[in-house]
Structure 1
Amino acid sequence: MTNLAEDTAARPVSHKSPRSAPDLRQRLTSGLRRNGPESSGPQAYGQTAPLPEQAPELAGHGRLSGEALEIAHTLHDNGVSVPVLTGSVRLADMALIAAAGIGAAFGKMPASASEIVTLGIPHAIAIAITLLFSLAFFQAADAYQVSVMRRGLSQIGRVVAGWTLVFAMLFLIRTMTGIGSSLNQQWIGAWFVIGMVGLICARLVVYRLVRHWMETGRLERRAIIVGGGTAAAELIHELESNSDNDIRICGIFDDRANDRSPPVVAGYPKLGDISALVEFARLARIDMLIVCIPLRAEQRVLQLLRRLWVLPVDIRLSAHTDKVRFRNRGASFIGTVPFVDVVEKPITDWDMVAKRVFDIVFASLAIATLFPVMIATAIAIRLDSKGPVLFRQKRYGFNNEIIDVLKFRSMYHEMSDPNAKKVVTKGDSRVTKVGRIIRKTSIDELPQLFNVLRGELSLVGPRPHAVNAHTDNHTWDEVVDGYFARHKVKPGVTGWAQINGWRGEVDTPEKIQKRVECDVYYIENWSILFDLKILFMTPLSLLNTENAY
């Protein structure tokens, strides 16, 4: 293998002269630098929040410079949510198509009430089938990709082609099966024309909105370059040559000293080393990490990925320095620059919207169903011991965000342990009589349904652990390598680990290792059906109370 120092050594950058620090910050926060991929739509933005003031020891800012901290906080805003945008466009398309069909139908319906009912059922069936076909064809045509929405003619062409194929499919079904033969052809023709005009007008509005949000910096993917020197400078210049894109470079992180990796590359500052990068990504909303290191320097690449994969971001290896040609699978392009897709952000885009709707619907049903149990539990707690009914504990949420998780109080108030300094053990004298019952049955977790409605938790996901949770005087991130990878998604009220019996006391490194393995399996294999399976298996898993006390 070629010597690693030769592979990664930085050479002088001659493309642009360095800029002053204030100018750099202005460029990073102005929202005017956008470059990005043409072949893959933007991923959903992660939602992070500054760590609370009451837990400064958890902030971990020690490795970040003042400039890096300032930039991280300016990059904290979420801008326009990609899942909300694409979901709203889908809903608008479906509403417009249904409205066009209903309007065309009413225009041709006779005045007789009996005839209206007779015509109404076939019309409703035709509209429902058309909605399904439209969603499928528009999706297949990438009409819901932001990279397509920002191009007017391309977007309209895809929608027109998809709409035409929908009616061609309906005509084919009608001809071959006779289904829908009672539908008036004039109504079908009017629906096609009205729907076409409406979809074109709507997509022109979408195009203008997306372009406006791009120009104001509200719709973009924020990228960090990992690695510096000439390779990073060349990459930046190639990205900036594609001006009509959505990538915004927010800085550079590199472990190497300034003699091998200049403090300013192509006008962008080096904000710190890889340890600082992990802290920076926890504070700022970053969507992508671009590793700009030659692929032949495999050991260094592997070492970096081992430290970075715990972050909820896309990770791509830049292949521009190796001049490698890729097929589409496993690779993507930002403009003309090839990248190897190493890690993708889990549960993004429409999946994020679907999971949120799932959480709201089922959490609301659970609260309505279990409300009498919650009232009875609250009364029992007040009668059993003095103190508040609810207990709040700081736990790790999505992307290591610190959240207050609600529980029914199960310990004597004066012995409560909000910092989880001492693990609850069998026969623990701190636990009340009522507390033993609600802990064994997990009734103490029911208030977390309100955390779900607030968006801090999901119904299903890795269980949120206390910030100071530990085993044998070691915090769990020290016990398990890659522990924080479980925070790439929102934590849940129940999860795959609990279904498999890993609930209750964690008194050995093996137990937390098994929990993390289950959590990572869930993240890598997530689906709505998987969530349903876990949700409906949860009551059965509660029968296993071996480690719950």
Structure 2
Amino acid sequence: MLSNQHRFSSLLVPFSYGLDLLIINLLAFYLPINFENALLFHCYLSCAWVILSLKSNFYEVYRYSKATRILILLFTQFVFFFLILYAFIGFFKQPNISRLELGKYFLYVGLVISIVKFLNYYLLMSYRKRIKGNLRNVVVIGKNKKADQLVNVFKERVEYGFQFFKQFSTKVDGFKLENSFDYISENNIDEIYCSVSELTNKEMTHLINFADNNLKTLKFIPDNKNIFSKKLKFEYYDYIPVLSLREIPLHEGINSFVKRLFDVVFALLVIVFLLSWLIPLMAIIISLESKGPVFFRQKRNGVDNEEFYCYKFRSMAPNNDADNHMATKNDMRITKVGRFIRKTSIDELPQFYNVLFGSMSVVGPRPHMVKHTSEYATKVNKYMVRHFVKPGITGLAQVRGYRGEIEKDEDILNRTKFDIFYIENWSLFLDLKIIVQTVLNAVSGEEKAY
């Protein structure tokens, strides 16, 4: 229905980090630098490289970035790396280290990483140009000099990987945004580029809402109108300035890798130390009270609106309404054991298998039943923004009191508001804070945990 098939690769940046760290450590291992504590040296350089890369944005090279940007990044990175490298001698009092060999090591690291970085840059461009992979389907709304220049960039710079489909002119008779929306949906367009000067504020709001609700990336070709109140990001395609409306931290490769690593480690700890003995115990208790399976699985909508099976401990007697009606207060379908495990959120624990297998995250927007997702997508503005990231076992909306049954419109509106805030302001610290609050809420009990 509403899906985005072409997400940016989340593996490219982590792979680049790993490859560069491998080069740094292998060269340090094989060159005769004569350090006294090899493990200290490797840990020091690895940590320094990661911190320095984050500060200098060393791995922020986009499909439209120029080779000169890579040169600037390399120069900046290795100026500070040189200082950090020689600072090791003074910090850790290593008088026996050969300064000459340390200098050779610096040159070798700089040369190899520079070659690898440029090779990766040109191989990706060649892959997009010759094999037509890693493409983004794009349209342009607007017909003016800057819009035409951007279209030419899309057509001529095929190594950028933008597959241009159509340019909509707002000046022709009978132009309606809805017609462009139909075309965008029918042709699986990934990114919409809009000339700000050619749409009214009302049309712009309509376009933003469409992009949010249909998981489309919206960018602007700027002019002098000052119609936005939020911070926008400038990017340059060749020499054409483009504005990005929404920045999603988890679409950055390193952030996605960090969150996935945390999810896997956390899920494994829960599965090994908790679920390994809890599942057999719950199987006995649930089976003794009522006939039926121990686990309950239900289709939910996840990242990019793709459907997946979400697992829980069964808390209700088997019934035909499970996929259509969410649990309500004093719901007759809930068993005695089910009432306890729902109150303490124990029924949600099998979802750590969903996390391990990659369909969910520990923290994120809570997934809804397929029927309710279809309903809310048409009724709640920006509801589909929640599907830009993986759903979570717990989330910001849940710890703020918006969990369980949707009793009134305000419930789903506030849930969506908190979910979008989480998506736009994600950090690992925020995830940890939500996890701690979830545990505290489960211990103290929540009003809507039924």
Q: TM-score range by the shorter chain?
A: 0.7 to 0.9
Does the 8 A contact of 2:132 with 2:161 survive in 1? no
Q: Is the 8 A contact 2:248 2:424 kept in 1?
A: no
* CA deviation profile, 1:233-256 (whole Å, cap 9, x unmatched): 724544247526514134248697
2:105 to 191, 194, 216: 191
Alpha-carbon distance in 1 for matches of 2:353, 2:6: 25
Alpha-carbon separation, structure 2, partners of 1:416 and 1:255: 51
- How far the C-alpha of 1:333 sits from its partner, in A, is 2.0
Distance 1:522 1:389, change over 3 A: same
Task: Choose which of 306, 317, 320 in structure 2 pairs with 1:401.
Answer: 306
* Structure 2 alignment gaps of length 5 or more: 226-230
**Within the alignment, does 1:501 sit opposite 2:401 as a pair?**
yes
Aligned to 2:24: 97
1:410 and 2:312 aligned: no
Q: Displacement, 1:204?
A: 5.0
Match of 2:286 in 1: 381
Q: 1:240 to 1:313 in 2, by over 3 A?
A: closer
Q: Which of the numbers 331, 356, 367 marks the counterpart of 1:464?
A: 367
Match of 1:343 in 2: 246
* Cα offset, 1:418, TM superposition: 3.8
Q: 1:478 to 1:193 in 2, by over 3 A?
A: closer
Please state how far the C-alpha of 1:96 moved relative to its aligned partner: 0.8
1: distance between equivalents of 2:330 and 2:232?
55
**CA–CA distance in structure 2, aligned partners of residues 494 and 475 of structure 1:** 22
Q: Which amino acid aligns with 2:41?
A: A
Match for residue 370 of structure 1? 274
Within 2, Cα distance between the matches of 1:318 and 1:152? 23
1:128 to 43, 66, 69: 43
Residue pairs, 1:186-335, within 5 angstroms = 186-203=100-117, 205-217=119-131, 220=134, 222-227=136-141, 234-240=148-154, 243=157, 245-252=159-166, 259-260=173-174, 272-274=179-181, 277=184, 279-280=185-186, 284=188, 286=190, 288-294=191-197, 297-319=200-222, 330-335=233-238
The letter for the 1-side match of 2:417 is E
Shift in Å, 1:98: 1.0
Shift of 1:351: 1.1
> In the alignment, is residue 517 of structure 1 matched against residue 421 of structure 2?
no
1:523-534 paired onto structure 2 within 5 Å: 523-534=423-434
2-side partners of 1:365 and 1:316: how far apart? 41
Root mean square deviation of aligned Cα: 3.6
Say if 1:220 and 1:246, in contact at 8 Å, map to a contact too: no
With normalisation by structure 1, the TM-score equals: 0.71
Q: What does residue 357 of structure 1 align with?
A: 261
For residues 157 and 342 of structure 1, do their structure 2 counterparts lie closer, same or farther at Cα, with a shift above 3 Å needed?
A: closer
How far off its partner does 1:160 sit? 5.8
**SS at 2:362 equivalent:** strand
Instruction: Return closer, same or farther for 1:159/1:339 CA change in 2, 3 Å cut-off.
Output: closer
Deviations 1:247-294 (A, max 9, x none): 4134248697985559xxxxxxx99532553x458xx472x3212352
**Residue pair 1:253, 1:273 contacting (<8 A) in 2 also:** no
TM-score by length of 2: 0.85
Q: 1 CA distance for matches of 2:72 and 2:18? A: 20
2: distance between equivalents of 1:238 and 1:255?
15
Q: Could you tell me how far apart the structure 2 residues matched to 1:377 and 1:462 are?
A: 27
User: 1 or 2, which has the higher helix percentage?
Assistant: 2
Unaligned runs of 5+ in 1: 1-58, 61-71, 110-118, 263-269, 323-327
* Larger RCO (CA under 8 A, 6+ residues apart): 1
Distance 1:329 1:425 in 2: 42
Q: Shift of the alpha carbon at 1:477?
A: 3.8
Aligned-pair identity in percent equals: 27
SS in 2 for 1:343: coil
- CA deviations 1:129-160 (Å, max 9, x no partner) are 32333334445555423348986686467436
Kindly state the Cα deviation for residue 480 of structure 1 after the two structures are TM-superposed.
3.0
Matched, 1:145 2:57: no
Q: Which is greater in Rg?
A: 1
- Following the alignment from structure 1 to structure 2, what is the Cα–Cα distance between the partners of residues 437 and 416? 22
Q: Is the 8 A contact 2:316 2:335 kept in 1?
A: yes
